[in-house]
Structure 1
Amino acid sequence: MTFVLVPGAWHLPSAFDLLRGELDRLGQPSLAVRLSTAGPEPRGGLREDAAAVRAAIEAVDGPVTVLAHSYGGIPVTEGAAGLANVERIIYLAAFVPDVGESMFTLLGLPDPAETDGLFPVNDDPRAQLYGDVPDEIAERAVRQLVVQRIQPWVDRVTQAAWHTVPTTYIVTDNDNSLSSELQERMAKHCDEVHHMPTSHSPFLSRPAELAALMTGKAGV
């Protein structure tokens, strides 16, 4: 089993370094996807991010479990559809859209008039994203945040992998970014639900616990 890890908005693949280290210790290979809409020079929209997810999965010779965090649930829902080697999707405090939905529609927001710009990080990302993360790790994570395009938050999903792929939702109960109430509503699309008493980023606050949960769900 290979774990394909897809980050949320403003995050680079390096956000998963601690989690990947724990997966290594469990003997499980992993890779983290770089989304084109986040970074020093962001480009594209949902289609480009979904294509990156799809390419990463297709590059694996064998079964895959996909972990989608936060916004990453949108391109995973689109990009993992129809791929025979995807055995499970784990939505971690993530958006779970159906066909025709977007991140904005799931949040109950109207589409903005301008979609070609950037969405700023909250004024206090430490509190929003990393509330229970140790100070040194949280400070490093804040320094590594990058700019994020608005376009993929507005783009509608055209196919939904969770209709045919087994799914697990992990609700982060003490989340200051994505409310647990909204997470639980979206989790109704999934086959099973687990809770972690963490902030939005358990891959930084409880990477060993998260890795154990992931491998258990993947049956390895």
Structure 2
Amino acid sequence: MTTVMLVHGAWHRPATWKKLADELHGLGYSTVTPELPSAGIDPVGDAHDDAAVIRAAIDAIEGPVVVVAHSYAGIPVTEAAAGVARIIYLAAYVPDAGESMFTLHGMPAPADTSGLFALTADPRTALYGDLTEAEAEAAASQLVDQTLASFATEITHAAWHDVPATYIVTDEDRSLPVELQTRFAERTGDVRHLASSHSPFLSIPAELAELIDDIIRG
């Protein structure tokens, strides 16, 4: 049986995947949700440190692994996911070797990469635009700090050159622009769409689970 590894994005923790994980369990999948050190109450490290955690989690699993990377997680997953069955990029960054989040946005990395990267002023709208006000408030209350270094890290290996990859574009996204997602999606061999905001694992987890299942079976 395929294990689905769910890798959270910036400012989030593994618990953000609970609704989706429950839906995937109902479809017969086991799930693993590693915790990235660059996000937390006291976050440390950069995307290479996150990639090391992801790689260790992959290596601990017996059988085929499909990795779902949300948003920022596309960067360390791309570094770490050699040899998996498939990468599913969910409204995620898809870097090539030598690229970072800064370069993907056409920006130079700051000279000083210590400290934190500030969260958007209105995460409820940017990240959770299709949740109810109460649901968005609850989700936003769980957000944590994120290291600046994680966004400045240039990866050294791009797994999507050798691993089958699918991109899920979130068509109503107010965080990662659809135009940018479309450009990233061109680096994968399969593109799907969801009529959702940036976090469909919270707003439409059953629909997302069915799409993941279809991608894996396909």
Q: Give the equivalent residue in structure 1 for 2:132.
A: 134
Q: Give the equivalent residue in structure 1 for 2:40.
A: 39
Q: TM-score, normalised by structure 2?
A: 0.97
Distance 1:117 1:9 in 2: 14
Distance 1:53 1:177 in 2: 24
CA offsets 1:11-46 (integer angstroms, 9 cap, x no match) = 000010100010111111101110000001111111
Distance 1:219 1:136 in 2: 35
CA offsets 1:61-117 (integer angstroms, 9 cap, x no match) = 010000000000000000112x3xx11100000000001011110011111122011
Q: TM-score, normalised by structure 1?
A: 0.96
Distance 2:172 2:191 in 1: 16
User: Would you identify which runs of 4 or more consecutive aligned residues in structure 1 move more than 3 Å?
Assistant: none
Distance 1:167 1:214 in 2: 12
CA offsets 1:154-199 (integer angstroms, 9 cap, x no match) = 1111001100110000001111100000000011100010111110
Distance 1:114 1:123 in 2: 22
Gaps of at least 5 residues in structure 2 are none
| Superposition deviation, residue 135 in structure 1 | 3.1
| Superposition deviation, residue 137 in structure 1 | 2.6
Percent identity over the alignment?
54
Q: Give the equivalent residue in structure 2 for 1:60.
A: 61
Q: Give the equivalent residue in structure 1 for 2:190.
A: 192
Distance 1:47 1:113 in 2: 18
Gaps of at least 5 residues in structure 1 are none
User: What SS does the aligned partner of 1:66 have?
Assistant: strand
Q: Are residue 120 (structure 1) and residue 121 (structure 2) matched?
A: no
Q: Give the equivalent residue in structure 1 for 2:164.
A: 166
Distance 2:190 2:93 in 1: 15
